[in-house]
Amino acid sequence: MADHDNHGQTAAAWTAVTIMMVGFIVGSIAVVQLNWVLLAVGVVIIVAGAVVGKVMQMMGMGKQTQDA
């Protein structure tokens, strides 16, 4: 079986997913209210979550990759 002991259980993953979830909630509210500015804010939050997650991974807070 593949080694998946810490799949997604890192500080980088949790932080990225939490930030992006907030972005999706903001975007969902914006769609219901037909508020295009708020939708753009939600999209920016989602992109920021991805960037924060990648930066945290590069700082060593994410899953360490192994060479094959």
44 within a domain of the structure (yes/no):
yes
51 within a domain of the structure (yes/no):
yes
- 5 pLDDT exceeds 70? no
Per the structure, the complete domain to which residue 16 belongs is given by: 11-58
27 within a domain of the structure (yes/no):
yes
43 within a domain of the structure (yes/no):
yes
Instruction: Tell me the per-residue pLDDT of 8-64, one tens digit each, with 9 for 90 and over.
Output: 688 888 999 999 999 999 999 999 999 999 999 999 999 999 999 999 989 888 777
Number of domains in the chain: 1
5 within a domain of the structure (yes/no):
no
1 within a domain of the structure (yes/no):
no
3 within a domain of the structure (yes/no):
no
37 within a domain of the structure (yes/no):
yes
Distances (CA, A) of 22 to 14, 45, 59, 61, 68: 12, 7, 23, 21, 36
